[in-house]
Amino acid sequence: MPRTVWDSTLGKKTVMAVSGLIMLAYLVVHMLGNLKIFFGSDEFNGYAHWLRTLGEPFLHYEWALWITRVALVVAVVAHATAAYQLSRRDLRARPAKYVHKKRRASYATRTMRWGGVILGLFIVWHILDLTTGTLHPGGFQSGHPYQNVIDTFSTWYGNVVYLVAVLALGLHIRHGFWSAAQTLGAGSRTRDRALKTTANLLALVLTVGFVSVPVAVMTGVVS
């Protein structure tokens, strides 16, 4: 079965759909957690600490976090590998372009590939910035995410990178969610509108949710 799935374009698409939905679920939680920043540094830092103690005493300190991290890494790698292989295949399948050019497919569809690449690069930067602190502007303080976030969004490039990434994310989800539903066979003529609306809503909510943080920092609502 695993070979059947991975060897087939449909199987790889399934892998992309499932991994995409896992990441999407994570992002919803992540976005909701981010919004805690509006309740002040204590609550935000406390929430970050709670994430590390989640599942105790059944789980050891930070285990829940690491389990999530591992699952996410697997999802990202599977998603990206499948995407890369499928894209290579797609480009090979249509080597000659039409002389008469036409732009058609919606913006979200056309941006899936480079949108995905932007998101991949962003994830690397985002981890180096706010998880390991390697690329963090100003001194990174472990255990003080509130201050770290304000540091990042106090630089112009931090804001630009983040905003571009979040917009790419919105477009990616808009086509990706609906697409995943089709890949998993959940779409139908009667359900199509509902799925499209859900996709648009998810894209909008996540974009607004994530964007609200840098905007709040820039405007001084959070400081």
Residues at the contact surface with another protein, assessed by CB under 8 A: 1, 4-5, 7-14, 86, 89-102, 104-105, 109-110, 112, 175, 178-179, 181-189, 192
Nearest CB to another protein, comparing residues 9 and 134? 9
What minimum distance in Å lies between the beta carbon of 102 and another protein?
4
SS (H, E, C) the chain: CHHHHHHCHHHHHHHHHHHHHHHHHHHHHHHHHHHHHHHCHHHHHHHHHHHHHCCCCCCCCCHHHHHHHHHHHHHHHHHHHHHHHHHHHHHHHCCCCCCCCCCCCCHHHHCHHHHHHHHHHHHHHHHHHHCCCCCCCCCCCCCCHHHHHHHHCCCHHHHHHHHHHHHHHHHHHHHHHHHHHHHCCCCCCCCHHHHHHHHHHHHHHHHHHHHHHHHHHHHCCCC
Closer to another protein by Cβ: residue 150 or 195 = 195
- Provide, rounded to whole angstroms, the least separation between the CB of residue 125 and another protein: 26
Cβ closer to another protein: 4 or 223? 4
Which residue, 16 or 161, has its beta carbon nearer to another protein?
16
* Angle subtended by helix axes 145-152 and 192-219, to nearest 10: 90
We find the least distance from the C-beta atom of residue 10 to another protein, in angstroms, to be 5
Q: Please state the closest distance from residue 179 (CB atom) to another protein, in A.
A: 5
CB of 216 to another protein, least distance (A): 35
Residue number, 140 or 177, with CB nearest to another protein? 177
